[in-house]
Structure formats: C-alpha cells, structure tokens
Structure 1
C-alpha cells in the first residue's frame, strides 16, 4: 500500500456532546455516527494484527483544552475528557492536544509526523463544524494533505438565526471549494472494508 490515512475525531468531548446543559442539539446523531465510524475503522485495524502490511489507518483523537479565562474545558476536568477515548496500548490510536481551532497550528510538527507515517489523506469529523472542524480541515489542506469531510458526522450549535444543519452545509460548501471531498459518512464507511481488502495478502476477509 502506497499510503495510509488518518481518521481525525475532532473535539468529541463531554462538554460538547454529553453535558445536558451544554451539548450540541444533534448530540445523539453524532454519537451514533461516531460509534459506527470507529467500529468499522477499528475492525479494519484489528484485521491487520499479526500482519506485516502497512496499517491503513491512524486514528487521531483531537482534544481541545482551554485556560480558565477562555472556558471550562480545562485539562483534567470532566468537561475536557474525550467521550470516545482511544484504546489503550495501541500505536494506531493517538491523542493530539490543541489550544487553537486548527490542530495543525497548535502542533507545528504534526504534519511532518503524519508524513513520516506515510499518511497523505485525512478523514475528518467531529465538533464544531464552523470552528475546529473547519479550521483543522483548512490547516490540513494548507499542509498538502487530501481531506475528506464526513457529512452527517460533524455538527455544531444553532447560531445567528441559523440551525446547526444550515451551518454544517455552509461549512461543507466552503471546504469543498477549497479542495476537500465531502461525503455522507454512511456512504464513505461502506467502502472501507472492500477498499482495504485488496491490500492485505493472505489475511482473510475484512468488513463488507
């Protein structure tokens, strides 16, 4: 396999997805989508266990942190915790901290670290659409990565007279004009098993 992909799970943290006082309106939808996306991607990774083949995925859990003057997502707090944490003792699931909207801006060496792992494409979803998702997609594009945005798996709050869904569509339009690929998450993950199957020799069937 000539390249691998990084799956960015952006800021799906308790304050934004689980706290009944602060969670986004479409929290249940995002939880369901994330469960399915991680289930498929992890099943593919697990199918490579014991193989000498290059792993097809790196799962990157992006975790935002604020200072007391900025908000309540303080490092170590319940609000800051990831709703979907990485599996322990796995080199293919990592956490990347950030303090700005653009994960690449917060981590100046991240792009090179991804390239060192033969990553050329980033698949992006999470929270919030017009905030950290859009900023991190823009940073990834500027760094030369291909970017796929999983429609229906990113969301935000209603704002300025617009619903969260309206804002999601506006973000997708802006990112598509910058070169990102926008695909419904259900359609995208339905192709992952068959796409990876041909890259593993003598390793059994993957997800269909």
Structure 2
C-alpha cells in the first residue's frame, strides 16, 4: 500500500515572515524538517515510509492576498529536490488540493497510492480541506498531529483550532497520528 506525504502550504508568508507567520511556525518548520528527512530516508524501504512526497503551494491573485506566484511570500520553505522523481510540486488556488487539481487523485491511484499523510499550514483551511478532499477521493487519510497549525482566531488559540480540526477529520474517517509516532513507524 503506497503512501503519499502531502506538505501543505508551508510558505514564507505563513512560516517565516515575522509580520505574518503563524504563532507556531517554528514548531511546524522543525517537525517538517524531521518528517521530510524520515520520508526521504525510508522511501526505498518496502512497506515503510511514503513512496512519494507532494509539496503543495497555494497561489493567490494580488487582489486576494500575498501568495502571488513568483513573490517572496509565495516561496516554499520546503521544496522538492531537483531531479527527485518521487517528489513533486502541486499548485492550488482553492483550499482543497484535489479540487484545484482534478486529475491528481486518479494520477496518484495509478501510481499505487492508497493513503495520504498530511501536515502543514493552516489547519482549518487548506490542511483540513485537502484531507477532506482526499477522503472524498477514496484515500485512507492520516493527519500528523503536532505538525499542522494556524493563527489564533475568534477567541480560540491555534492549539484549540488544531484539536478541533483533528476531531472533525476523525469523525470523517481520518486517522490522527502524532508526527513523531508516524515517522518512527516508517523505520519499522
């Protein structure tokens, strides 16, 4: 059963710019470094880590936001390695990566992918929507707890929103796995 790791919208505006980054960007970047290192180290071990890594990059029109193609805020913190056939970049314009890329689910299934493991920014926006889209497309979905986050909003802390997203996704059939446990299992 092949797995695709989705690295969702870890972009400069949300993760590195001191004026606009989410409050827990340092935690997400540190987790992302370890998750990607583990995924890249185990990709050739049968039945272990993800067989493919999908880097998702959100794009906006200038009148809609700062994630304008080619701009510094739009740049990814983590990028596919040049020439790595198991790593790909996918652009999106909606919260759900599968909605923005109607052929993506079929392409992944053709490659044998049955499961999606996801992390990134923002929990209640693109992370939750992409996980929901993956579930609707028939994939087994896991969200990596501790490796997704957002802004404090509407009187709730980012951590409260993270937990709510995990609870909603669990109700829909997704697994919630602490990222440390997920990567430890890739080495088994």
- TM bucket, shorter chain: over 0.9
* 1:23 paired to 2:17: no
Q: TM-score, normalised to structure 1's length?
A: 0.87
1:29-108 aligned at under 5 Å gives the runs 29-45=27-43, 47=44, 56-108=50-102
- The whole-number CA distance in structure 1 between the counterparts of 2:134 and 2:88 is 17
* Equivalent residue pairs, number: 187
The runs of 4+ residues in structure 1 deviating greater than 3 Å are none
Select the residue among 128, 146, 151 that pairs with 1:152: 146
1:174 Cα deviation from its structure 2 partner: 0.2
- The whole-number CA distance in structure 2 between the counterparts of 1:27 and 1:71 is 19
* Backbone CA RMSD of aligned residues: 1.4
Deviations along 1:57-105, one digit per CA (max 9) or x if unpaired, are 1000000000011101100001000001110001100000000000000
- The whole-number CA distance in structure 2 between the counterparts of 1:69 and 1:31 is 28
1:187 Cα deviation from its structure 2 partner: 1.0
- The whole-number CA distance in structure 2 between the counterparts of 1:90 and 1:65 is 23
Q: TM-score, normalised to structure 2's length?
A: 0.97
Deviations along 1:28-50, one digit per CA (max 9) or x if unpaired, are 100110010001111113x56xx
Deviations along 1:141-169, one digit per CA (max 9) or x if unpaired, are 00000000000000000000000000000
Match of 1:168 in 2: 162
- The whole-number CA distance in structure 2 between the counterparts of 1:180 and 1:44 is 23
Select the residue among 174, 185, 188 that pairs with 2:182: 188
Unaligned ranges ≥5, structure 2: none
- The whole-number CA distance in structure 2 between the counterparts of 1:56 and 1:101 is 23
Match of 2:105 in 1: 111
